[in-house]
Amino acid sequence: MRHQDHKALVLAFQEEFENATEKELSRVLDRYTGAGYLWHGVYPFEEQKGAEAVVETFWEPLFGSWEYLQRRQDIFMAGESIDGSDWVASMGHLLGMFERDWLGIPATGKMAFLRYCEFHRIVDGLIAETFFHADLIGVMNQAGVSPLPMQTGAEFIIPGPRTHDGLLYESQDSAELAQTLELIQQMARDLTDYPEIDMAPEKLARTWHEDMIWYGPSGIGSTLSIQGFKKQHQIPFRKSLYSHRKVVGHQAEFAEGIYGGWVGWPSLSLVVTGGGYMGLPATNTPIDMRVVDMYRRQGDKIAENWVFIDVPYTLIQQDLDIFERMRQIVRR
């Protein structure tokens, strides 16, 4: 039952935080987090220590630029990671009226969506650590100032599960949990066991439905079906990055019911040996990649996969600052 208590903790925090004034944000976050709270944000926010630093670095500027900010969750789950630690994960969108410039992104004066996924580690009834992923390039695209070449996949506001059952407020069957975790771990093993650039579709079909949906980050885009995934993400990725790929690991890896996921900070260590990935040239640069994957299992295979990659962090390691490139585009 402890995971139900952890869900209740995070849900209470979300509600109180969303309804707080800007002056109350630090106080609310401090009440729900333990001493030494660590928050890991995507570039340029990076690691922050303590509630006050987190609010000052990320939340206050966001609340100051986006009015009527609200959270729309698509997946909410809790569980024990493979290392024994306890986690709650939340995925969906933060949305609001984008009234003032944020991170140099020009305000649209219209509703905007910030796609997010966060993993909270729970210790002694408090949030001890958070890994927060957000698709900042997706906001740039909504503002019409995309700093990257045309992407291979489709760009749209990413939906939640096709089955509309991702909010696991109630406790789930432990047998389902075990099956989900084994499936996504087998999928990851298959990707390692078959490193060829053009991986055979039947090998992917061992763990993926034929009409699987891969929801990728802006800069890469989303795709439908095993063949679509191969053409629009896997082959370009492997052609450019796979020859020196090394799996670093995950800070959290767990499942609940038919949903599962993991976060790595970083997940992978790679070298940009080939050109073409996200339309960019080869740099032969060693890079780390921060990745979140969330999965929905249908039967004995994966039906949907929501992927978050800290693309600005990946690119800054190649001396490409997409925020500076965007500022040059906007010229404000």
- Nearest CA-CA partner of 133 in 87, 164, 99, 89: 89
Burial of 149 (0-12, 13-18, 19+ CB in 10 A): exposed
Total residue length of the chain: 332
**Residues 43 and 119 both lie in one domain:** yes
Indicate whether 45 pLDDT > 80.
Answer: yes
The Cα–Cα gap between 108 and 131 comes to 28
Give dist(CA 139, CA 112) in Å, integer: 7
Give pLDDT tens digits for 146-184.
889 999 999 999 999 999 999 999 999 999 999 999 999
> Per residue in 72-107, pLDDT tens?
999 999 999 999 999 999 999 999 999 999 999 999
- Say what the pLDDT of residue 146 is: 87
- Residues 19-38: pLDDT tens digits? 999 999 999 999 999 889 99
Domain count, the chain: 2
pLDDT of 71 reads 98
What does the alpha-carbon distance between residue 303 and residue 293 come to, in Å, rounded to a whole number? 13
Dist. CA 266–CA 322, nearest whole Å: 20
Query: Rounded mean pLDDT of 319-332?
Result: 90
Residue 81 and residue 184 in one domain: no
pLDDT at 126 over 90: yes
252 and 294 share one domain:
yes
Report the percent of the chain where pLDDT is more than 70: 100
For the record, the structure tokens of 127 come out as 């949030």
Q: CATH number for the domain including 220? A: 3.10.450.50
Of the three residues 142, 160, 195, the one that is the final residue of a domain is 142
pTM of the model: 0.96
Tell whether 160 is covered by a domain: no
**pLDDT at position 220, please?**
95
The pLDDT value given to residue 199: 94
Looking at the fold, whether 311 and 182 belong to one and the same domain comes out as yes
The packing angle between helices 25-32 and 2-18, to 10°, is 170
Lowest mean per-residue pLDDT among 127-136, 156-165, 181-190, 237-246: 237-246
Question: What distance in Å separates the CA atoms of residue 69 and residue 228, rounded to the nearest whole number?
Answer: 35
Res. 10: pLDDT tops 80: yes
329, 145 in Cβ contact below 8 A? yes
Give the pLDDT confidence score for residue 332 in this predicted structure: 63
Distances (CA, A) of 311 to 25, 85, 205, 220, 231: 28, 28, 28, 9, 20
211 shares a domain with 107? no
The answer to whether residue 147 sits within a structural domain is no
For 249-296, write each residue's pLDDT tens digit.
899 999 999 999 999 999 999 998 887 788 888 888 899 999 999 999
The pLDDT, as a whole number, for residue 41 is 98
Do 187 and 318 reside in the same domain of the chain?
yes
Q: Do both 9 and 116 map to the same domain?
A: yes
Cis before 281 (ω within 30)? no
Domain assignment present for 274: yes
Domain that holds residue 46: 2-142
